[in-house]
């Protein structure tokens, strides 16, 4: 039989929540039907998001193309202009990708790309490099983890972010090798310091050019013998990545991280063991691992429903899938992300965002509680800047302006048109709140005025969004 609560659970974990147009389907189809639809709609490879060309065009006034340009050839004014164009470009990359999260039918692909964006966290103020990395994550989001790992490891964004440009023979820089082991594959404590030192030697010479293309600088590479994980040979970077994929611990680490993101922040050892073993035997294919999770009976157990605090991006995107919004200035959307504690392309460090209860502090909680007033037009999108000029896109002086947004209520009103007034509170609570206190729907019935159903619906929805339960999925 159809189970609306299980359907909502799946749509929030395998996507960014139900679009308002899907509300009336929640009672009609079983979770397996929704899962099949999620897979089908995400099969096609995504078109890349391209903003870098717009950010770079005209920089050298047509004298030379960007692909022929060397950073050293830029004068001070050109470097300053390039920096500003990069910031504007990353802002555009942010808003366009978020718009795809909201509107794309490929919810599973975009949700998994969002996960990998946190897993392969990279803060690089070069829009071309970030654009290339995002394309790798979106293209491989449901594909093969090993393929994605190798492409990310060769990306200009990551090589520069983790200082492998400075990793040279006789002067190895261990940062890249350490993070590949600790954060991208095996997890802390599953390798030795000597493994890192030797792996760093294997990655010497891995670099990129100004155009973001991978370059192997053979004269900077250490061709000497190296011992890694007890094996000795003339290893290169690709060999190290293959060794890491051969380690079953990598499958366990990735599976555990996915389990915490998609199922429950408290891992179940029995489930992790079963999932990771299959993941390893399947050669690190991601989609079969997701299928194992989302089609299992235990995924839908009560202890896994409504237990995760929505990340800021999940919160903002989920709201827009329910209530379409238009921001008059894209900086307003950036400021909302920042006020809540998560700006796409600006992770706090290479470990990404810690998540969980870290999403909630006194400042972000107050903003989460303000959102219903913003939706009703009772407050302005007036968000104060902090001190991080990178995230401010170099426009600190403009941060005190008001950023106005418009909310379109008509799709929600249409979705609720056949629901009687006496059932409206109960129905909305069932859709909007994954976990419900028994008093919630009774309390919110006070907002229903039969003489003004439309305004009552707006008020009821806004107040439901201000409950602690709505912060969970």
Contact yes or no for 262/119 (Cβ under 8 A)? no
Give the tens place of pLDDT for each residue, 18-74.
999 999 999 999 999 999 999 999 999 999 999 986 555 544 333 344 444 555 667
Closest CA to 183 of 166, 196, 169, 167: 196
- Secondary structure class of 113 (helix, strand, coil): helix
pLDDT of residue 333: 84
pLDDT of 395 reads: 43
**Contact (Cβ atoms closer than 8 angstroms) between residue 85 and residue 55:** yes
Nearest to 43 by CA among 104, 97, 131, 119: 104
From CA 458, how far away is CA 342, in angstroms rounded? 27
R_g (Cα) of the chain, nearest Å: 24
**∠423-23-101 over CA atoms, to 5°?**
140
| Phi, psi for 123 (deg, rounded to 5) | -115, 105
* DSSP-assigned letter for residue 233: E
Q: Cα–Cα distance between 154 and 134 in angstroms, integer?
A: 13
Please tell me the number of Cα atoms within 13 Å of 41 on its side-chain side: 17
**Cβ contact 122:158 at 8 Å:** yes
Terminal C-alpha separation, the chain: 22
3-class state of residue 403 by DSSP: strand
**Positions in the chain short of pLDDT 50:** 58-68, 385-386, 393-401, 438-439
57-77 core/surface letters (b: 16 or more CB in 10 A; e: else): eebbeeeeebeebeeeebeee
Residue 143 CB partners (closer than 8 Å, separation 6+): 285, 286, 287
Residue ranges in 237-325 assigned as alpha helix (H): 237-246, 248-262, 269-281, 286-294, 312-322
pLDDT of residue 308: 97
Q: Are strands 325-327 and 231-233 parallel, antiparallel or unpaired?
A: unpaired
- Report the distance separating Cα 389 and Cα 398, nearest Å: 12
What does the pLDDT read at residue 441?
53
Q: Are 158 and 167 in contact (CB under 8 A)?
A: no
At residue 235, the 3 state secondary structure works out as coil
Question: What whole-number distance in Å separates Cα of residue 280 and Cα of residue 258?
Answer: 14
As beta bridge partners, residue 206 has 216
DSSP string computed for 85-109: HHHHHHHHHHHHHHHHHHH-S-HHH
- Taking CA atoms, 103 is separated from 21, 293, 408, 413, in Å, by 12, 25, 14, 19
What pLDDT, on the 0 to 100 scale, is given for residue 372?
78
Q: Give the dihedral of Cα atoms 208, 351, 317, 134; nearest 10 deg.
A: 10
- Give the separation between CA 451 and CA 468, rounded to whole angstroms: 29
Helices vs strands, H then E, count in the chain: 21, 6
Query: How large is the angle between the packed helices 193-202 and 237-246, nearest 10 degrees?
Result: 140
């Amino acid at each position: 039989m159809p189970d609306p609560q299980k359907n909502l659970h799946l749509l929030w974990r395998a996507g960014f929540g139900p679009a308002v147009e899907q509300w009336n389907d929640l009672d009609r189809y079983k979770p397996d039907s929704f899962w099949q639809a999620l897979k089908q709609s995400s099969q096609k490879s995504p078109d890349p998001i391209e903003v870098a060309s717009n950010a770079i065009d005209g920089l050298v006034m047509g004298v030379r193309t960007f692909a022929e340009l060397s950073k050293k050839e830029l004068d001070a004014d050109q470097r300053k202009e390039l920096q500003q164009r990069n910031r504007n470009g990353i802002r555009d990359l942010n808003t366009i990708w978020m718009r795809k999260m909201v509107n794309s039918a490929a919810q599973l692909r975009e949700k998994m790309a969002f996960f990998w964006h946190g897993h392969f966290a990279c803060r690089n103020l070069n829009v071309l490099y970030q654009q290339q990395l995002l394309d790798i994550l979106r293209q491989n989001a449901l594909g093969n983890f090993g393929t994605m790992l190798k492409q990310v490891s060769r990306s200009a964004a990551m090589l520069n972010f983790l200082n492998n440009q400075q990793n040279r023979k006789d002067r190895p820089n261990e940062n890249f090798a350490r993070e590949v082991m600790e954060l991208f594959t095996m997890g802390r404590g599953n390798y030795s310091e000597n493994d890192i030192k030797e792996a760093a030697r294997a990655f010497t010479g891995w670099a990129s050019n100004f155009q973001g293309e991978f370059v192997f600088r053979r004269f900077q590479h250490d061709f000497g013998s190296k011992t890694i994980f007890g094996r000795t040979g003339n290893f290169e970077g690709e060999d190290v990545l293959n060794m890491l994929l051969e380690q079953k611990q990598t499958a366990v680490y990735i599976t555990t991280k996915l389990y915490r993101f998609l199922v429950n922040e408290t891992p179940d050892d029995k489930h992790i063991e079963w999932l990771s073993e299959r993941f390893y035997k399947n050669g690190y294919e991601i989609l079969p691992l997701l299928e194992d999770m989302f089609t299992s009976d235990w995924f839908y157990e009560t202890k896994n429903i409504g237990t995760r605090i929505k990340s800021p991006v999940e919160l903002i995107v989920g709201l827009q899938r329910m209530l379409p919004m238009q921001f008059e200035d894209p900086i307003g959307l950036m400021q909302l992300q920042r006020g809540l504690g998560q700006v796409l392309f600006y992770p706090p460090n290479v470990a990404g965002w810690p998540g969980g209860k870290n999403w909630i502090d006194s400042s972000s909680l107050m903003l989460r509680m303000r959102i219903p007033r913003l939706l009703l037009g009772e407050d302005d999108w007036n968000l104060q800047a902090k001190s991080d000029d990178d995230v401010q896109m170099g426009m600190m002086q403009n941060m005190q302006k008001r950023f106005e947004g418009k909310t379109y209520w008509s799709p929600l009103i249409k979705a609720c048109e056949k629901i009687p007034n006496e059932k409206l509170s109960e129905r909305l609570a069932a859709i909007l709140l994954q976990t419900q206190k028994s008093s919630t729907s009774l309390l919110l019935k006070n907002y229903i005025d039969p003489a003004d159903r439309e305004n009552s619906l707006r008020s009821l929805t806004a107040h439901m969004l201000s409950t602690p339960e709505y912060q969970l999925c």
